[in-house]
Structure formats: structure tokens, C-alpha cells
Amino acid sequence: MVGIYDFGVTTLEGREANLADWRGEVLLIVNTASQCGFTGQYQGLQELYDDKHAHGFSVLAFPCNQFAHQEPGNAKEIERFSRCTYGVGFPMFAKIDVNGEGAHPLYTFLKRQKPGLFGTRSIKWNFTKFLVNREGAVIARYAPHREPKALREPIERLL
């Protein structure tokens, strides 16, 4: 059976990585965009990362341009924007699709593990969040409007 640690990913800098590199950490996996009404959540995600990283927590961000073309930039532009505007220091990955035939296998897996409202398998918008425990189980899925600070307690329970 395939698990979360079986997926390969490409960093924003173009290096190949594997989610097994984060084995044993609590993860918050988020599809992001630079021109979204929820883009300000980068700040809250960074605050969680700063606060909890030393305790075994990471945010993993996957830019996506599937929703109203709100992530049109290339890797360098995405990196410059997120790091300069919000001080993002958590891992960011190459732009991916989260829905449709071209969806990254990681997101196909996440959606299967934790369907959305009414059992939907699609991601509805940018900044949908998946919480993964230290053993690699997908524990929860949070809608885009759920602010990162509201996830502090569920994350702390898993740490």
C-alpha cells in the first residue's frame, strides 16, 4: 500500500526530494498561490513553522495555478515573492496541479485519504490544508478559509 512517504517531489529550486525526508515530523501540506485572497496566510503558516519546527513540525507548500490563475509566476518569482513579502522559510516545492488528469500523485493520495465536504475528492481553492501525523497518516483536511492560527491546537496535540 502506498503511503505519504512514498512520494517524490521537486523543490522550488528544482532539486528532487522525497517526502520520506520528513518522516517522523508532523506536516501541514498546503497548496498555495501568490495572488489569492488567502495569500496573507503565508504569514500565519510561517509563524506556526517558526514556533513548532524545533518540536518536529513542518509546513510543505505546493504552489498551484489552477484556481483563477492566481499563481502565474515561475519558480524564481514565487520564491522571491514568498520569501521577500512574507519571510517564508518553510519548504516550498515546484508548481503543481492538485486536480484533474495532471494532478500530482501526492494530491491524488491526500484527497483519497481525506475527502472534502460531502465526500468531494477535488480541491476547491488555494490554501486547502492537510494535517499529517508523525506516522504519515493524514489526520485532517482544512478548508482555505481556516486560518493557520486555528490549527495550532490540533498540531500541538500531534507533537
Q: Which residues are catalytic?
A: 36
Query: With 0-12 CB in 10 A as exposed, 13-18 as middle and 19+ as buried, what is 153?
Result: exposed
HSE of 89 in the Cβ direction (CA atoms, 13 Å)?
A: 10
Neighbour-count burial for 117-137, b at 16+ CB within 10 Å, e otherwise: eeeeeebebbbbbbbbbeebe
